[in-house]
Chain A
């Protein structure tokens, strides 16, 4: 077993060295129609990537294009950008975000189809995994909201699976996490808080809801209102800050180490470990806000 792992590791290192020597440290690998010869080929172009430029193209592509007068290499390559500009005049950051959200939707759809296909009367290996995930959320919802509010299960599970898929997407090279764009976490935070307030009005009645702001004492009302508003900020900026922070650290460290070996573990740590923890924290916080709002003793 150890021998196999060692062999895989050595093969990986050899492939890595081959790729590095093929690509060269100071140049980019391009695949497509070579503009000089007109043939379909693989060729290298020298790059002058500094860390500043990398951060700018990665996180503010529209700012980068504006600085360079609409020219330049974003989305990883010039030809991809030209293709994008042919179809759409929308800001590049938004196009990228929508594309990544579509990828996430596609992945979730494939997952849903897989669940249906692999489930049956006799449970197999996969069905055990799906049922384990389902039971985990069922226990979570029943524990905090009670047995009669089990109908919140699809909502809670959807939040978790969507954010988890978004966070893990950044591990795949070339794709970026939709959650690193503030619009997505802010939207999720607003959804989570609107659901809480809607359910509070439904359960306590309009007067009971308004009276809840004057507790425990009436002069704390402004504080309660600001506290409710700051919940949206804190829940969404937590997700946003963690995911954006992870990807910035990955970009900077990758540049410092010339993209050799270390960034893989780093993006594994930030993408998978921190991604799972933050998705779980977001889900637990929306569930706890809900249960603190509507569950009576």
Chain B
């Protein structure tokens, strides 16, 4: 049994980390999309309205990661996590869940922004392919956000399905398991940064390629899918290690 205040303290710090870290990269990404839209508007003033709409849709989609982090933050603040029965396990798990979604949103926040920005530039190059490019942009952003979804999964599991600390355990065992719970959040958080960035860049580049080359869209999209699957593999390793840390160790 520990003081419920300690659990609440951990939840508050975790909420701060989650929303703060997630906002960092999402801000950069949204600005990148706006920059791409401005560049295209200068090139093609007659499709200004379409570009403006595409910019808004792209920004909304690129903020998905930050919204998920905001949800975890609100749950940490108001979700009623002050049951002292959880013990130090619960303290570590709350901290880990905030770190996980906070760091996990960084990659997709910037990556989805890069996709949107390059798509806006591509739209300026080929105005008659705008619908295709918009669809591809949403797919690319969704792919780059799938690593954030893994971080969300780990966050929710740390919030709701961590084991309660058994009575009469040695201090060393408690510390070990608590650190494992914290580390599982850190693992998926850092592991998903690179993949999110990489897949976002990949999707943006493939949209640029569609705009520049003008044919073979299906081939480009297929290569993009395979490339993103391989890029995602490091995040999947992190996910597996997170599960091991949470349930096995």
The total of chain B residues at the interface (CB under 8 A) is: 37
A281/B139 contact (C-beta < 8 A), A233-B150, A238-B149, A288-B225 known: yes
Asked whether any CB of chain A lies closer than 8 Å to the CB of B164, the reply is no
- Nearest-neighbour CB distance to chain B for A205, whole angstroms, equals 20
Contact, CB under 8 Å: A249 / B64: no
Contacting chain A: which of B39-47, B66-74, B180-188? B66-74
Which A-chain residue is minimally distant from B160 (CB atoms)? A60
Contacting chain B: which of A96-104, A106-114, A222-230? A222-230
Assembly CA distance A76 to B80 (angstroms): 20
Contact, CB under 8 Å: B138 / A277: yes
Contact, CB under 8 Å: A241 / B152: yes
Contact, CB under 8 Å: B68 / A248: no
- Nearest-neighbour CB distance to chain A for B223, whole angstroms, equals 10
Secondary structure call for the A interface: helix
Asked whether any CB of chain B lies closer than 8 Å to the CB of A252, the reply is yes
Kindly state the interface size class of chain A when it binds its partner.
35 or more
Contact, CB under 8 Å: A252 / B78: yes
- Nearest-neighbour CB distance to chain A for B77, whole angstroms, equals 8
Asked whether any CB of chain A lies closer than 8 Å to the CB of B120, the reply is no
Partner of A248, one of B60, B75, B233: B75
9 CB < 8 A contacts A-B: A220-B230, A223-B233, A238-B64, A238-B149, A245-B70, A249-B70, A252-B74, A277-B60, A297-B219
Asked whether any CB of chain A lies closer than 8 Å to the CB of B241, the reply is no
- Nearest-neighbour CB distance to chain A for B55, whole angstroms, equals 14
Asked whether any CB of chain B lies closer than 8 Å to the CB of A295, the reply is yes
Asked whether any CB of chain A lies closer than 8 Å to the CB of B5, the reply is no
Assembly CA distance A68 to B64 (angstroms): 35
Assembly CA distance A297 to B240 (angstroms): 35
Assembly CA distance A144 to B222 (angstroms): 11
